[in-house]
Amino acid sequence: MLKLKKFYRFISACFFLITGGVILIFNKKNYKPIYRGFRYFLEHRSYQISLSILKSDPQTRALIDSRYQEGKGVNWDQLKALPPDTLGYQFAKFMNNPEVTPIEKLPESEQQIDPDIDYLRQRIRLVHDIHHVVCAYPADELGEMGISAFYVAQINSPLNSMLLAFGLIKCTIKMPERLPELMNIITHGWQLGLKTPNIFGIKWEEMWHLPLKEVQKNVGIEAA
């Protein structure tokens, strides 16, 4: 019975991940099938490796244990009032881009799985767009591929490795002339992720007021 259950979960994961990948080729904003498939993927070894990397980082472990900023929203007016060169202002500016999905509208925000995993998912939903800002990856499809490669290098992220695969397929089918650009940004994201210290445990909210260049230097990011 246990083997049958695992087999069912694996087939379900593959169905939603493949379906989600096909949907992303034609509608880049619809991540729901991908996330639904990923829920079935939580017991897979690839996800457990990624989770163990996150939990083995002392800073990230401390965030999980303390539930740092759990459930707290972002004061956008406060960030917009900061000087233009600060992390907070640049983050608010990035989130105002129509290509960016608002944090509160990302899929699965209401579904509960496990206390630690739920916190990490909520936290990573927020810091994902901060990572775009500090790594200087734009809010477009190439920027997403860059940050996905960065995540694979940093935490062996299975979701992002699959997004890279579907990104390559989509580019080959719809924009073959841009394949060199795509490979360049994937390579850059991979190399940047390898040489940058783990950034998932950083308390970005305590650096809103600092110049972006200073934040990048503080956390060891050599911006794109």
22-36: pLDDT as tens digits: 555 455 555 555 555
Q: Percent helix, strand, coil in the chain (nearest 5)?
A: 70, 0, 30
The total domain count for the chain is 1
* C-alpha separations of 111 from 19, 40, 121, 170 in Å: 21, 13, 10, 29
Which regions of 37-148 does DSSP assign to beta strands (E)? none
Domain span at 63: 46-219
Is pLDDT above 70 for 112? Answer: no
Q: What is the pLDDT of residue 48?
A: 87
Strand partners, 116: none
Q: What is the pLDDT of residue 14?
A: 55
Q: What is the pLDDT of residue 215?
A: 96
- Tell me, yes or no, whether 106 lies in a domain: yes
- Tell me, yes or no, whether 22 lies in a domain: no
- In whole numbers, what is the pLDDT of the chain averaged over residues? 82
**How many other C-beta atoms can be found within 10 angstroms of the C-beta atom of residue 151?**
25
- Tell me, yes or no, whether 117 lies in a domain: yes
User: Mean pLDDT throughout 142-165?
Assistant: 93
Q: What is the pLDDT of residues 95-105, one digit of tens each?
A: 988 777 666 55
Write the DSSP symbol of residue 106: S
